[in-house]
């Protein structure tokens, strides 16, 4: 992924794990991709390949415990053109980004 301002979302080395019986299970293994402005993407794969966990990780909705985002960066381009890392913004900012559900 590159970090130019044509990308509304840039995921770099995203890694999400779950703890089960004291063991780490890597559900998302260093995933990287960009979504340019005006684009639509689809995440496809076999059952259990990490599609849902990737999406939940991007939106910081992984239940903790047992899961957590171990590594990575999820940069998004906000309304005023600033690049921000979703994984480091406050929960209040994250709620504003997600909107009302």
* Element holding 93 (H helix, E strand): helix 91-98
What's the angle, vertex CA 69, arms to CA 77 and CA 63, rounded to 5?
105
So what's the pLDDT on residue 82?
84
Which CATH number, 3.40.50.300, 3.55.50.30, 3.10.129.10, 3.40.309.10, labels domain 7-98?
3.40.50.300
Q: Mean pLDDT of successive 10-residue segments in the chain (101 residues)?
A: 73 95 93 92 90 92 92 88 88 83 55
What is the arrangement of strands in the sheet containing 83-85, beginning at the earlier edge strand? 23-36, 7-20, 67-77, 83-85
So what's the pLDDT on residue 48?
87
């Amino acid at each position: 992924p590159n970090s130019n301002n044509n990308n509304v979302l840039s995921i770099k080395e995203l890694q999400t794990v779950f703890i089960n019986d004291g063991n780490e299970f890597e559900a998302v293994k260093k995933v990287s991709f960009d979504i340019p402005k005006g684009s639509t993407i689809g995440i496809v794969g076999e059952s259990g390949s990490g599609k849902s966990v990737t999406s939940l990780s991007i939106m910081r909705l992984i239940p903790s415990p047992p899961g957590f985002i171990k590594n990575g960066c999820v940069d998004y381009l906000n309304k005023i053109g600033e690049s921000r890392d979703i994984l480091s913004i406050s929960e209040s900012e994250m709620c504003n980004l997600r909107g009302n559900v």
